Amino acid sequence: MTTTKNATDREPMTDSETLREDLEHTRQHLADTVQELTRRLNVPHRMKETASSAGHRMSDAAGQTGQKMKQVPGAMKELPATSRRHPKAAAAVGGVVVLGAGVMAWLVRRHK
């Protein structure tokens, strides 16, 4: 296999130059592979990366929740109008809330 040294120089490479280039390419590939295996086997570092990533996701979620909580007072003002438009749904939700409160009171009394 004879290749050229570069695009501007058209002299063919000798067999030893071709082998050296192939050997250098193989060394680089092996070094990349070892580096990737080392990264994958470094469990404490990967755990820190995962924890950091989870922390960032939780922080983002908390910020989004805070933004949504700011919208709750406006939604509470709209609640009477919504219940007038959907009286059966409002009655069902109210019934579930009362039933849940009753069950909780019963459980608290039962465990005392």
Length of the chain: 112
Q: Is 17 within the bounds of a domain?
A: no
Q: Is 58 within the bounds of a domain?
A: yes
Q: Is 78 within the bounds of a domain?
A: yes
The tens place of each residue's pLDDT in the chain, 112 residues long, gives: 445 555 556 778 888 899 999 999 999 999 999 998 988 888 888 888 888 888 888 888 887 877 777 776 776 677 777 777 888 888 888 899 999 999 999 988 887 6
Beta bridge partners of 4: 12
Range of the domain at 93: 42-111
Phi, psi angles (nearest 5°) of residue 6: -160, 180
Q: Is 59 within the bounds of a domain?
A: yes
CA-CA distances (angstroms) from residue 8 to 5, 11, 40, 57, 66? 8, 9, 42, 52, 63
* Cα dihedral 99/105/106/107 (nearest 10): 110
Q: Is 64 within the bounds of a domain?
A: yes
Q: Is 23 within the bounds of a domain?
A: no
What pLDDT does residue 8 have? 59
Looking at the 3D structure of the chain, how many domains does it have?
Answer: 1
